[in-house]
Amino acid sequence: MITRIPQIINDLYLYYGNDLQLTSSGDLLIANLATLSQQRVIRRLSTPNGGFIWDTSYGAGAPSYIGQPLSSDNFESIKSLILSNILLESTVSPNPEPKVFLNVIQGGLFCQIQYTLNPTLQPIVLNYNLST
């Protein structure tokens, strides 16, 4: 079995849809590996299919499910979409297999994603909303 080892780099703290953050001294905030991984997972899930012009295969398009009926088929499709896409991130370990939990909330779905950070094996719990 081949184990993916991510290239550990410094990156800015930038959650999808928000602004860059500053430290108390006015410098740009740098993300640690766990935060960087979470940022990348959220960005991948939230990017529409073909919405990244430099790599048209990037993006899960999860928000496209907003407004669709909450049938058991759609629940399974959303879980499968999330799982298959987060495993494309080098910081998400395939072992143990990540878990995706969905709960209906007003106006959409609350998603909890549990995965293991590669290579540190730190457990990560990421909350992600699909809502209007």
Amino acid at 114: Q
Which residues are paired to 126 by β-bridges?
113
Amino acid at 132: T
Average predicted confidence (pLDDT) for the chain: 87
pTM above 0.85, yes or no: no
46-103 pLDDT tens trace: 999 888 888 888 999 998 888 888 788 888 999 999 999 999 999 999 999 999 999 9
Q: Is 20 exposed, middle or buried (0-12, 13-18, 19+ CB in 10 A)?
A: exposed
Residue 88's pLDDT is 95
pLDDT of 5 higher than 70:
no
Task: Tell the CATH topology of 11-131.
Answer: Nuclear Transport Factor 2; Chain: A, (3.10.450)
H-helix or E-strand spanning residue 24: none
pLDDT of 27 higher than 80:
yes
Q: What is the mean pLDDT of residues 101-112?
A: 90
Q: How confident is the model at residue 38 (pLDDT cuts 50, 70, 90)?
A: very high
What letter does residue 78 receive in the DSSP assignment?
Answer: H
For tokens 């395939």, name the residue: 94
Of 54 and 14, which is predicted with more confidence? 54
